[in-house]
Structure 1
Amino acid sequence: MFKAGIEIHQQLNTKKLFCSCDSDLNDRVLGEFTRVLRPVQSELGEYDAAALMESMKRRTFVYQVTENSCLVEMDEEPPHDVNMEALEVAVLVSLMFNCRIVDEVHFMRKIVIDGSNTTGFQRTALIGMDGYIDTKFGRISIRSVCLEEEAARKIDEKEGIAVYRLDRLGIPLIEITTGPDLKSPQEVKMAAQILGYALRSTKKVRRGLGSIRQDLNISTDGERVEVKGVSRLNLLEKIALYEMERQEMLSSLAEEIKRRNPDLEHIEILDVTDIFRETKSKLIRNGLQKGHRVLGIRVPGFSGLLKSDRYRFGKELAEVVKVIGIPGIFHSDELPNYGIGENEVRLLREKFSTGDNDAFIIIVAEENKGKEALLYVIQRIRKAINGVNPETRGPRDDGTTEFLRPLPGSERMYPETDVPPIRITEEMIERLKGMIPKSYEEAIRDISERYGISMQQAQQILDENREDDFSFFYSIYPDGNVIFRVLFNIIPEIEGEGLDVSSIDSGVLEKIFSALAEGRIVKEAIPYILRDFIANGRIQFDEFKPMDEDELQAIIESVVDENIGDLKSRNVEGALMGILMEKLRGRADGEMVNSILRRVLERRGVSK
């Protein structure tokens, strides 16, 4: 059964969380320094599995210093006092979701050694818990609202060196975590829309790509998979659908493994480099030229499970080794291929002593790194009998996901000793209760009534965070339906034609709506004006000046004379309107054209 929860991470538009630096992104680099990060034991003497896997990459981190970073971001001095403005926003959001507010805020350190934090950890604090929101799908529980610091911005990575910029590090971040109450991919998207609106309604959040991210926690058979860092709302439903299908495949695979009952406890890593001394495979030959070895394993009972119409477990294993820095794997379900010939496959089967139901896997890598990677592959193969593996995955632009690391455990969290506890007073809570904005449903209804548009249109404006733009354009030209058509129909239609609409900003639209309000153009001209602007980089109104009624009457008479004899359609009026609007190219109001056309047809006794 599908069930999911969602985590929303939203940057706040305040100063940074533990210093007074601005939170704007800054591309002016003043200098840089280098660090190497290693995992540490928890207070119970345990290592976090995700941190251990990250450390296997053996990367060096270069940090670029910017004008809006200081010694706090560099981890050269302790954090300053907590930004109280950011803390109050977190309390306000907690109240909006009916949460129980903590008496004292205690910051914790969450181990993160992927380089995104100079300290090797992220500071985070619980603000509210045990809340809820009511939706048309039912009540969704809000498990927690946390306040934490944003990670550094990744700029580049190559050959074991990752470059991060400190401008983003330390920006206040609110994390909202729901319970596993979402029963379909559609509910996942709906929950993200409601939570996103609630955050925006505080008027204290940053806008733009990357300022809000969603993590999905999805389960179909009990184990949880986290999909980390979805930045586009329109991908959520697609990713949820993909994960549902992927997890169902893994559950089916587990049942097949149980049926076959292979011995997976005695898998041995072998060096098979000698088989490929004369290989035609460019991938393997390039590796051998670098001094790499070809290593492999026999996988008992897995023939047809690594790649077939039903199973794609080989893809899962390839993702595991890619994280460690090895491009991929070769396996018997897809060989011969990639320049590996039938004779090499035969020799591999002899070397591994494979039976008819067995598979084999080989990789090309530096010897020690390759053995580490294959140990992870063996571990993952053994876990396959349990079905879905609890792990963290990343989103791809096509709506699929890829393995990132094992799911973090409690071993990654320990107390922050440099930040004293902060008392949440009753006075603060009562003051913030008076600042709670309208609910999602109330906001939709308000937009619909204010601009004279449908509830569906109002919801789209809210979900796509266009209310400020809409309000501004409405103050220039007070016709909500026309503005909606321009923003949500005309511009996307032009983009669908393959044209680049990125230059159509609010300044361009302001001029167009002003011309519309002044009567210099009619609404039908807008698509033509926008296409002309994209092509020529200028806004041209003169050639779209509205025709007077006499000129329009003459053109309509002429078009009727030219086409009336050829029209066989029962809808003569509709057919002629299409011809006229194409000919007029936005120089006449559609209602006026239709009115004159009807009079012309009536005088001629033509049925509509």
Structure 2
Amino acid sequence: MNYKTVIGLEIHAELLTNTKIFCGCKNEFGGDVNTHCCPVCLGLPGSLPVLNKKVLEYGISAGLAFNCDIARHTKMDRKNYFYPDLTKAYQISQYDIPLCENGFVEIEKEDKTTKKIRIRRIHIEEDTGKSLHDTTGDTLLDYNRSGVPLIEIVTEPDMNSPEEAYKFLEKLKEILLFTEVSDVKMEQGSLRCDVNIDLIREDGLKSNIVELKNLNSFKAAVKAMEYEVKRHIELLESGQNTVRETRRWDDSENKTISMRSKESVQDYRYFPEPDVVDIHVSEELIQKIKSNLPELPDQKRERFIKEYSLPEYDSRILTASKEISSYFEEVVKSFNEPKMVSNWIMTELLRRVNDECIQLSDLKFDKEDFIELLKSISEGKINNNAGKKVFRIMFETGKKPQDIIKEEGLVQVQDEGTIREIIQNVLNNNPQSIEDYKNGKQRAFGFLVGQIMKESKGKANPQIVNNILKEIIDNM
């Protein structure tokens, strides 16, 4: 029988504010354990939370970027549950009046059509502490993360395959990066994703919804979803059904493992948070935030295609992050050859950056040095292969391109007289290739060009070589 997969996502993104959501403690990844916390973070008796206005503004920015309606009046709620790293035994979150509702993100399907994934809500809340398990089996608690501001993004169950969910997550990550409300570093826990998944058989039989947690990468999320699709089908085919539960993904075993039964809303016993005043959002604040929103990935992608005449593929790579797109545009301002800049960023720069796992801001050479290298290639001072060698040394040492060109003796031979002498020597030693070319064998011409470049140690200008070689042979 045929099955329809139904997937909804819950994404938690930590916000890039300087301080936490309800106190003045640093909002910063790392640091010695329990050094970024205070009585408010720890939920000590007598401490009172005060909402950080920047958290509200970042939440509105995200909501607008995801096409949401922004609530003019909202509030914080108390969500009651017990985890070892939740000191108060409740979390300050939002329940019935979220800050943002009714948004959407459009993804591109395999057939190039677009699909709208609806966003049910985006709300603000505090993060919990972190449990640390040592080698003796003891569990220690670090409260540096407690009180870090979050937005939780909840989608409608509009995704019908792990691939669609992956595309949505990639799009969501791009938008959050461009709006600069979160750094979305999954390895540091600033972006976390939970999956709700079930299947509907063509005769109407449904599997029970299963929640997947502990997904530390988008690839892990896709693997977990694929595993669950297979597991749900096998159970239904055998006359059984899934249990409504929360499961975790085990990377080492490549399978999901049951954690606990899934909670319902009633289990959390929500009620309005009495220690935080209600929130009133003015139209003026919304318009101010809207006017300051940056150009978002889809808009930038279309502009790059039109303004710089780039292929769609190039445009997608260059707009994958705000850092890369800004770097490209800054280089093009000084060196107006967009396609050449695009090629070098995609093939040489990003390859090495990704191999070394660094940011563009960590490069050892300046943007002006990169521009100088591209100009040297474009003006024929060095050829493309020599340019790659120069770039490698720049990347590894931070040396100036002109210094490398001189030290390595890479200046391209432009003098026609010198090139004619080299060509004549090669022709004298390869009479058969001349005859082959005259008999219509085009590969012979390429062979001769290769011999000339070898004779010149790669320094002869290839365009001049081609022009003079053709002229000489045609006149023989």
Letter in 1 for 2:37: S
Mapping of residues 250-289 of structure 1, within 5 Å: 250-256=232-238, 258=239
Aligned partner of 2:49 in structure 1 is 80
Aligned partner of 2:164 in structure 1 is 187
Per-residue CA deviations over 1:294-336 (Å, capped at 9, x if unaligned) read: xxxxxxxxxxxxxxxxxxxxxxxxxxxxxxxxxxxxxxxxxxx
Aligned partner of 1:69 in structure 2 is 37
Per-residue CA deviations over 1:84-124 (Å, capped at 9, x if unaligned) read: 12102212322343433334332234456554444344332
Shift of residue 82, structure 1, vs aligned partner: 0.8
Instruction: Tell me if structure 2 keeps the 8 A contact 1:4–1:183.
Output: yes
Shift of residue 533, structure 1, vs aligned partner: 6.0
Structure 1 distance, partners of 2:445, 2:253, is 44
Does the alignment pair 1:547 with 2:403?
Answer: no
Structure 2 distance, partners of 1:556, 1:403, is 74
Does the residue aligned with 1:20 lie in a helix, a strand or coil?
coil
Does the alignment pair 1:213 with 2:195?
Answer: no
Aligned partner of 1:486 in structure 2 is 344
Does the residue aligned with 1:549 lie in a helix, a strand or coil?
coil
Instruction: Tell me if structure 1 keeps the 8 A contact 2:232–2:242.
Output: yes
Per-residue CA deviations over 1:420-478 (Å, capped at 9, x if unaligned) read: 32223344334444445545432211233444422322222223442233334444544
TM-score of the superposition, structure 1-length normalised? 0.60
Aligned partner of 2:155 in structure 1 is 178
Does the alignment pair 1:408 with 2:277?
Answer: no
Shift of residue 572, structure 1, vs aligned partner: 4.3
Structure 2 distance, partners of 1:212, 1:512, is 35
Aligned partner of 2:24 in structure 1 is 20
1:16/1:179 CA distance change after superposition, 3 Å: same
Letter in 2 for 1:75: G
Structure 1 distance, partners of 2:291, 2:275, is 33
Shift of residue 549, structure 1, vs aligned partner: 1.1
Structure 2 distance, partners of 1:203, 1:182, is 26
Structure 2 distance, partners of 1:580, 1:112, is 77
Structure 1 distance, partners of 2:140, 2:14, is 22
Shift of residue 181, structure 1, vs aligned partner: 0.9
1:393/1:229 CA distance change after superposition, 3 Å: closer
Structure 1 distance, partners of 2:320, 2:61, is 21
Shift of residue 560, structure 1, vs aligned partner: 6.9
Shift of residue 179, structure 1, vs aligned partner: 0.9
1:244/1:204 CA distance change after superposition, 3 Å: closer
What RMSD, in angstroms, separates the aligned Cα atoms of the two structures?
4.0
Structure 1 distance, partners of 2:60, 2:106, is 19
Instruction: Tell me if structure 1 keeps the 8 A contact 2:353–2:359.
Output: no
Instruction: Tell me if structure 2 keeps the 8 A contact 1:243–1:400.
Output: no
Aligned partner of 2:210 in structure 1 is 225
Shift of residue 556, structure 1, vs aligned partner: 6.3
Structure 1 distance, partners of 2:421, 2:313, is 40
1:105 is matched with which residue: 52, 58, 74? 74
Shift of residue 173, structure 1, vs aligned partner: 1.7
Structure 1 unmatched runs, 5+:
30-63, 259-384
Aligned partner of 1:386 in structure 2 is 241
Shift of residue 143, structure 1, vs aligned partner: 0.6
Instruction: Tell me if structure 2 keeps the 8 A contact 1:394–1:403.
Output: no
Does the alignment pair 1:467 with 2:339?
Answer: no
Does the residue aligned with 1:158 lie in a helix, a strand or coil?
coil
Per-residue CA deviations over 1:225-251 (Å, capped at 9, x if unaligned) read: 333354545x27xx4365234432443
Shift of residue 513, structure 1, vs aligned partner: 0.5
Does the residue aligned with 2:40 lie in a helix, a strand or coil?
coil
1:603/1:514 CA distance change after superposition, 3 Å: same
The answer to which of 149-158 and 15-24 deviates more is 149-158
Letter in 1 for 2:99: I
Letter in 2 for 1:106: K
The answer to which of 247-256 and 530-539 deviates more is 530-539
TM-score of the superposition, structure 2-length normalised? 0.75
